[in-house]
Amino acid sequence: MDATQDWWNGSVTYQIYPRSFQDDNGDGIGDLRGITRRLGHVADLGVDAIWISPFFTSPMIDMGYDVADHRDVDPSFGTMADFEALVTRAHDLGLKVIIDQVLSHSSDRHPFFTESRASRDNPKADWYVWADAKPEGSPPNNWQSIFGGPAWTWDVRRRQYYFHQFLKEQPDLNFHNPEVQDWALETLAFWLDKGVDGFRLDAVNHYVHDALLRDNPPDFREKTEPDYKTYEMQYPVHSKNRPENLAFMERVRALTDRYEARTLIGEIGEGHFPIERLQEYTGPGRLHQAYHTALMHKPYGAAFFRRQIEAMFADGYAGCPNWAFSSHDVPRHVSRWADHAATPDGFTKMTAALLLSLRGSVCLYQGEELGLAQSELAYDELVDPEGKTFWPDNPGRDGSRTPMPWQADAAQAGFSTSAETWLPVKPPEAARAVDTQSGRDSVLAFYREMIALRARTEALRAGEMTFLDMPEPVLGYMRGGEVLCLFNLGTTPVSVDVESAGEELCAEGAEVAGRTVSLGANGFRLARVA
C-alpha cells in the first residue's frame, strides 16, 4: 500500500457495516472484535482501506446514524479498547482505517439536545435549529424530511419547532453557531488522535441550512405523477447544499492537514443538484474525495454511465470522485440491475471490472465480492424505519444490510452463534458464503484478481479516461492512453472493431479476431494497447 500523503487517490476502500460483518460475542449483532477477527479476509482482497459505518453510542433508531455520543463506542459494538485494537490490527495488515462521521445531526437523546430543548436561554439553546410556528400553528416553512412528511417537529418544552432532515429522532445541529462548528472539529481531532486515517462525512452537504428559512421551490425535474416521498417533490436549495457550507469544509480540511496522510470523503448526494455542486466540495482546500451516488440507483446502460462519468470530469475537473455501485443505503447492484444480467456470476464479474477500472477512487460494499444479491425480507422482519414507512413501494434498506455469510453450512452462515440475529440470514445468501468461493472461477477470486490488476497498473489507478464511440450496449474507454476497456452491458453477444486489440489483461466471454473484439452476454475485456 502506498504510504504517501495522497495514498487515497485511486484507492480501493471496503465498506464494513459493523452490525452485519461478524458477531464475536454471540448476541446476534456484529461488533468491533468481530471486524478485527475478519480483517484478514479484507486484506486478502488487496484493498487499500476499510470504511466502518457508525459504531458510536446510539439508541439505534436509525441503526447508528442517530448518534448520542460522537466520541464513544456503543456497548453493542464493544469498547474503545476494542476499537483501538481494531485500528492496530488493520494497520499491521497494511489497511488504512476510515470511519463514518455523522455531524449534520444527533440523536434526540444526545445530552446536547436534552439541554437545548429544555429552554430558550440555556448554553445549548442555539445548538440546534429551532423556529417559531406560524401564527396558525403550522411549521415555519415547507421543508420536507427525507424519511417522509414535514422536516419540523413541535416541541412542547420550548413551544417551538425543531428541524430534522431525517427522522424526528435526528434533530439537525445548527452550523451557523460557531460553537457547533468548533465542537465538530474537536470531534474529528479526537478520532484522528486515535489513529484513524480519514473520515467518510455522512450527509456532508446537509450541514448548513438557509438562515432565513425560505421555502424550497417545487422540484424542477419533469414528473408524470406524484412521488411517494414528499421530499422528492421539492428542490431543496434552502434546506441543504448551501454555499455557506463550503467555508466549513475548508476548516475541516485545515484540521485534517495537520495530520499526515489523512483523507476526507464527503457523501454528497447529487440528486436534485447539478454536478458542479459536487465538484465544489472537492475543490482546492476542501474535501479530498466525493462519495458519488449517481451510479447507485436504478438507471443503467452505456449511455447513462458515460454521461455521468463525463459530467463528473467536465471542464477540466481534477478532483477525485469515489465511485460505488452498492452500499448499506441502496439495493445491491446485482439485484437492482438484474434485468441486464445474463447469468448472476457473469454479470457480477463484469460490473466489478467496470467499477474497478473507473477513474477516481472506488468503494466496495461488504459481500459485493461474493456476488450477494438483495435479501428478500418479509415486513415483520424489517427494522429500518424507511422500509416500515414506505412499504411495499420501498421495502427500505434492510435487504442490503443482512449478515455477511462466512460458512455455508454453519449456523447463521458463520456470522453468529446466536439462535437469532438482528436481521435474518437467508439461504440464497448463505449459499454464497466465503468458504464456497475458493475456486479460481469464483466471484471472490475475480475480485482479488481485478483489485490486484488495478493496483499494479498505473493507468487504471491514476490514468486519464477517454471514452470511445461504441454502439449500445457496449461501453468502451481508454485509461491512461494505454489500457483499452470494453464492456458488453447487454444480454446478447456483440462485436466491435478497434484500432488495436492489444495484450489481454483481464477478460470474460471475449474473443479476438484481428481488430474485431466479440463480447458475449455481459462479456468484457481489458487489454494493454500501448
* Catalytic residue list contains 270: yes
How much is the average pLDDT of 148-163?
A: 97
Q: Nearest Cα to 148, choosing from 391, 383, 379, 329?
A: 391
Question: Predicted confidence band at 508 (pLDDT cuts at 50, 70, 90)?
Answer: very high
Quick one: pLDDT at residue 1?
Answer: 40
Quick one: pLDDT at residue 270?
Answer: 60
Residue 186 has pLDDT above 70, yes or no: yes
* 437, part of any domain: no
Residue 9 has pLDDT above 80, yes or no: yes
* 495, part of any domain: yes
77 close to 55: Cβ distance less than 8 angstroms: yes
ω into 473 cis (within 30 of 0): yes
User: What percent of the chain lies above the pLDDT cut of 90?
Assistant: 90
Angstrom distances, CA of residue 348 to CA of 86, 299, 326, 338, 461 = 30, 17, 12, 10, 21
- The Cα–Cα gap between 11 and 446 comes to 18
pLDDT digits (tens, 9 = 90+) for 104-115: 999 999 999 999
The residue annotated as part of the active site, out of 210, 270, 329, 508, is 270
- The Cα–Cα gap between 394 and 374 comes to 13
Quick one: pLDDT at residue 271?
Answer: 62
Q: Radius of gyration of the chain from Cα atoms? A: 23
Ranges 134-148, 265-279, 469-483: which has the least confidence:
265-279
How much is the average pLDDT of 42-54?
A: 98
* 391, part of any domain: no
- CATH number of the domain to which 497 belongs: 2.60.40.1180
* 520, part of any domain: yes
- On whether the pTM is more than 0.95, the answer is yes
C-alpha cell at 284: 482546492
- The Cα–Cα gap between 266 and 105 comes to 15
* 208, part of any domain: no
Residue 3 has pLDDT above 60, yes or no: no
Q: Nearest Cα to 165, choosing from 185, 183, 144, 184?
A: 144
Mean of all residue pLDDT scores within the chain? 95
173 close to 106: Cβ distance less than 8 angstroms: yes
1 close to 94: Cβ distance less than 8 angstroms: yes
The residue annotated as part of the active site, out of 202, 280, 368, 384, is 202
Place of cell 468461493: 437
* 109, part of any domain: no
Q: What angle, rounded to 10 degrees, do the helices at 80-92 and 32-45 form?
A: 10
Q: If you ran DSSP here, which 8-state letter would residue 389 be given?
A: H
- The Cα–Cα gap between 143 and 396 comes to 22
Angstrom distances, CA of residue 301 to CA of 279, 326, 365 = 24, 16, 21
* 485, part of any domain: yes
Quick one: pLDDT at residue 269?
Answer: 73
Quick one: pLDDT at residue 324?
Answer: 97
Q: If you ran DSSP here, which 8-state letter would residue 286 be given?
A: S
C-alpha cell at 306: 458515460
Q: Residue 63 half-sphere exposure, CB side, CA atoms within 13 Å?
A: 22
Angstrom distances, CA of residue 57 to CA of 68, 75, 104, 400, 416 = 5, 7, 16, 23, 22
Question: Predicted confidence band at 2 (pLDDT cuts at 50, 70, 90)?
Answer: very low
- The Cα–Cα gap between 312 and 300 comes to 17
- The Cα–Cα gap between 510 and 133 comes to 64
Continuous H helices in 457-502: 458-462
- The Cα–Cα gap between 488 and 371 comes to 19
209 close to 202: Cβ distance less than 8 angstroms: no
How much is the average pLDDT of 465-477?
A: 97
- The Cα–Cα gap between 378 and 525 comes to 40
Total domains in the fold of the chain: 1
Residue 277 has pLDDT above 80, yes or no: no
Name 428's Cβ contacts closer than 8 Å, sequence gap at least 6: 373, 375, 376
- The Cα–Cα gap between 380 and 383 comes to 8
17 close to 54: Cβ distance less than 8 angstroms: no
Torsions phi, psi of 503, nearest 5? Answer: -95, 120
Exposed, middle or buried by CB within 10 Å (0-12, 13-18, 19+), for 427?
exposed
- The Cα–Cα gap between 60 and 7 comes to 33
Ranges 118-122, 290-294, 347-351, 357-361: which has the least confidence:
290-294
Q: If you ran DSSP here, which 8-state letter would residue 491 be given?
A: S
pLDDT digits (tens, 9 = 90+) for 236-265: 999 998 999 999 999 999 999 999 999 999
SS3 content of the chain, % helix, strand, coil (to 5): 30, 20, 50
- The Cα–Cα gap between 111 and 109 comes to 6
Exposed, middle or buried by CB within 10 Å (0-12, 13-18, 19+), for 157?
exposed
pLDDT digits (tens, 9 = 90+) for 366-380: 999 999 999 999 999
Quick one: pLDDT at residue 334?
Answer: 98
* Catalytic residue list contains 202: yes
Q: Which domain holds residue 489?
A: 463-528
Q: If you ran DSSP here, which 8-state letter would residue 327 be given?
A: B
Q: DSSP string covering 138-159, please?
A: --SS--B-TTSSBSEEEETTTT
Question: Predicted confidence band at 185 (pLDDT cuts at 50, 70, 90)?
Answer: very high
Question: Predicted confidence band at 220 (pLDDT cuts at 50, 70, 90)?
Answer: confident
Quick one: pLDDT at residue 144?
Answer: 97
* 248, part of any domain: no
Q: If you ran DSSP here, which 8-state letter would residue 5 be given?
A: T
How much is the average pLDDT of 461-477?
A: 97
User: What percent of the chain lies above the pLDDT cut of 70?
Assistant: 98
Quick one: pLDDT at residue 483?
Answer: 98
